[in-house]
Chain A
């Protein structure tokens, strides 16, 4: 017992009187049980939204990008807004699994599996938008430096758009591998419990024959640590490079050096909000309240509060620098952002992203589950509008006043966006019924140090 010491002041991360076997049973329960009506309703809605989006995508590809609301002045709007929004959401998973691993934060273990799943599913949504925006999607492989019929015609490595291709594909593939390696022991647990032959076959296949040898665990832990070390700068680089898509241009409002840290903070902010949205529902529906505790939600709210405040500082710094630069174009871009025809979007962004997270200073509010859920939705809306404000308000009034215009989305723009939300939830709902949603092997390894029953036992022994 002494080797599992943890300071008594730390609150338990696993609530209730749990044994190793209880953890196994409770993590396997949602997979072994039958889906209830609520799941089927949610799944049907998500599937319909996905199909609607698929139809809109096919219509876009069949007819052309002209079916979107884009015009000569505003050449990037909903599509890139959605792209950046989804990539941003995709940041929390790796942050939780990698950065918190390096900082030895044990609370990550209850939530890292689902956060990583969310990351992968949302990066898939993000990737759709640039590909559709290419217009001729069948030529999408041209973004890769592969030999072609032109012999020596290669991609342009000076372009931030190409950096993005490399950053996003590295991020998606490394996150996937990180996730799957962590899943092996948990799939093995499901395999060894499976009664139905088909289930046993599937989980044998995906667990890669994991057996839990001492040497394998030693390598497993080293691999996790090194992957965390690699994924940490990777996750920071991804949104940095996404911000380069804007920052390396010469558009007033985009051409700012603050973009990389500001985008990364915003991404973490929106990602944690989405983790809260998903897990607050999941812990209830899948009966995992003992593993995803109120403390987990509180800690995520604190991260939301801090990153929201960083984003707020960035907004104000941007305004100050625009004025201080003395460049009239820059000054106008920001004045127009706040007081021009899109003032309502700016106001929505400011109130959702800067004002609303400040409620989390109150312990009562940040430990309230209903309030946390509400704020997580507000933050997601706010972060969508942040990208919309940055992209559309910087473009719609350019250097040439005769081409000033407004942007309004068509039903196709909206259809594709709703479709990606549907696709995301289709994937996430399927995941919730077939994957071990808690990293049970890792949770078992902290049961004796952070489990409520063991902590109590230790405290009474010391007194």
Chain B
């Protein structure tokens, strides 16, 4: 596999979608697509698998829920049971109704924060991370499709030119 990629630029999301479908149909490999805003259906057209990040959120929520139960049981019932306002802390289930708000809050806290941290890790986003978009216009109004060069390069360029691209660049792969 060669290291060269062709960057085809588009100035419209509908033209990009058609181009992605054409390139896929012609059995070329789309390395990446950069867009300035979420283009609906692009992930399916590119053949990307669905994301499992919602499942992680559910699991993190379960962790938060269990942690809150463990924490309040340990602090209120086991370690130092006190009689506050005539309501003694004898057993978890007698006190449980008072624990519901914090069980809920901690479930949400864990689910939301850990899911976002997972997203940042998986998508390699953090402070001081250098941006890797091939052209600054991809955050404005340009859409870039990167196609890996396999076989005849000129043939691929002329094929892409027919998909409605406004600019074509052939570069070495950056990573």
Stretch at the interface among A63-71, A205-213, A355-363, A455-463: A205-213
Residues of A within 8 A of B124 (CB): 209
Contacts of A221 in B (CB 8 A): 38
List residues 19-75 of chain B with CB under 8 A from any CB of chain A.
Answer: 32-43, 46, 48, 50-51, 53-54, 57, 61, 71-72, 75
The stretch among B1-9, B104-112, B148-156, B165-173 that forms the contact with chain A is B104-112
CB–CB B75/A154 < 8 A:
yes
Q: Mark B75-99, 1 if CB is under 8 A from A, else 0.
A: 1100110101101010000010011
A214 engages B42 (CB within 8 Å): yes
In the complex, are the beta carbons of B101 and A222 less than 8 A apart? no
CB distance from B104 to the nearest CB of A (A): 6
Contact (Cβ within 8 A) A152 B80: yes
In contact, B106 and A166 (Cβ under 8 angstroms) = yes
How many angstroms between the C-alpha atoms of A241 and B4 in the bound complex? Answer: 58
For chain A, the bracket of interface size reads 35 or more
Q: How far is the CA of A214 from the CA of B49 in the complex (A)?
A: 11
Residues of A within 8 A of B84 (CB): 156, 158-159
The proximity string for A residues 177-208 relative to B, scoring 1 for CB distances below 8 Å and 0 otherwise, is 11001001100110111000000000011111
Query: How many B residues have CB within 8 A of the partner chain?
Result: 69
Does A219 touch B at the CB level, under 8 Å?
Answer: yes
Cβ proximity bits B134-160 to A, threshold 8 Å, 1 near / 0 not: 001111110000000000000000000
Interface residues of A in 222-280 (CB under 8 A from B): 222-223, 225-227, 230-231, 233-234, 237, 241, 244
What are the residues of chain B within 8 A of A241 when measuring CB–CB?
101
Q: How far is the CB of A180 from chain B (nearest CB, A)?
A: 9
Closest to A209 in B: B129
Contacts of A208 in B (CB 8 A): 120, 125-127, 129
Q: Are A154 and B80 in contact (CB under 8 A)?
A: yes
Interface pair A209/B105, CB less than 8 Å apart: no
Provide the bound-state CA to CA distance between A209 and B126, in Å. 7
A410 at the interface (CB under 8 A from B): no
Q: Which of A425-463 contact B (CB under 8 A)?
A: 440-442, 444-445, 448
Chain B residues positioned under 8 Å from A152 (CB to CB): 79-80
Task: Select from chain A the residue with minimum beta-carbon distance to B17.
Answer: A3
Q: Does the CB pair A166–B105 fall under 8 Å?
A: yes
Asked if A218 contacts B48 (CB within 8 A), the reply is yes
A224 to B89, CA, bound (A): 40
- Nearest residue in A to B56 (C-beta to C-beta)? A226
**Contact, CB under 8 Å: B95 / A445:** no
Cβ of B105 to closest chain A Cβ, rounded Å:
4
A167–B127 Cα distance when bound, in Å, is 28
On whether A217 and B38 interact (CB within 8 A), knowing A145-B71, A210-B125, A237-B101, the answer reads yes
Q: Are B48 and A214 interface neighbours, CB within 8 A?
A: yes
The distance in angstroms between the C-alpha atoms of A205 and B109, with both chains bound, is: 25
- The segment from A17-25, A99-107, A291-299 that touches chain B is A17-25
Interface pair B140/A205, CB less than 8 Å apart: no
Could you tell me the distance between the alpha carbons of A30 and B101 in the complex, rounded to whole angstroms? Answer: 42
Residue from A174, A185, A234 in contact with B113 in the complex, judged by beta carbons closer than 8 Å: A174
**Looking at chain A's contact residues, is the secondary structure mostly helix, strand, loop, or mixed?**
helix
Give bound CA distance, A209 to B84, whole Å.
Answer: 51
- A226 and B131 form a contact (CB under 8 A): no
B111 CB contacts on chain A under 8 angstroms: 226, 230
Nearest CB of chain B from residue A138's CB, rounded to whole Å? 23
B131 A185 Cβ-Cβ under 8 A: no
- Give CA–CA (A440, B46) in the complex, Å: 24
| CB of A220 within 8 Å of the partner chain | yes
B38–A220 touching, CB < 8 Å: yes
Whether A192 pairs with B53 at a CB distance below 8 angstroms is no
Instruction: Note all chain A residues with C-beta closer than 8 A to B127.
Output: 205-206, 208
Q: Which chain B positions have C-beta within 8 A of A191?
A: 131, 139
Chain A CB within 10 Å, residue with most, of B13, B38, B71: B38
Bound CA span A223–B43, Å: 15
Check if A158 sits within 8 Å of B95, measured CB to CB: yes
User: Considering only CB atoms, which chain B residue lies closest to A19 in the complex?
Assistant: B141
The docked-state distance in angstroms from the alpha carbon of A226 to that of B133 is 27
B139 near A185 (CB under 8 angstroms)? Answer: yes
Bound state CA distance, A158 and B105, in angstroms?
A: 14
Could you tell me the distance in whole angstroms from the C-beta of B65 to the nearest C-beta in chain A? 13
Tell me, in angstroms, the Cα distance from A174 to B14 when the chains sit together: 35
Q: How far is the CA of A444 from the CA of B43 in the complex (A)?
A: 18
Partner of A211 from the list B48, B119, B131 (CB cut-off 8 Å) is: B131
| Listed residue (B48, B116, B137) with the most chain A CB atoms within 10 angstroms of its CB | B116
List the B side residues contacting A192 at CB < 8 Å.
131, 133, 136-140
Inter-chain CA distance A157–B102, complex, in Å, is 8
Chain B residues with CB under 8 Å of A19's CB are 141
What residues make up the interface of A, taking CB atoms closer than 8 Å to B?
Answer: 1, 3, 19-21, 24, 145, 152-160, 162-163, 166-167, 170, 173-174, 177-178, 181, 184-185, 188-189, 191-193, 204-223, 225-227, 230-231, 233-234, 237, 241, 244, 440-442, 444-445, 448
| 15 pairs of residues in contact across A and B, judged by CB atoms under 8 Å | A3-B14, A170-B105, A173-B113, A174-B113, A193-B140, A208-B125, A209-B124, A209-B131, A211-B132, A211-B133, A215-B48, A221-B38, A227-B116, A230-B111, A241-B101
Closest 9 CB pairs of A and B: A209-B129, A20-B141, A192-B136, A154-B75, A208-B125, A444-B37, A211-B133, A163-B101, A441-B37
Other than A188-B131, A188-B139, A215-B51, give 4 A-B pairs with Cβ distance below 8 A: A156-B84, A157-B95, A227-B115, A442-B38
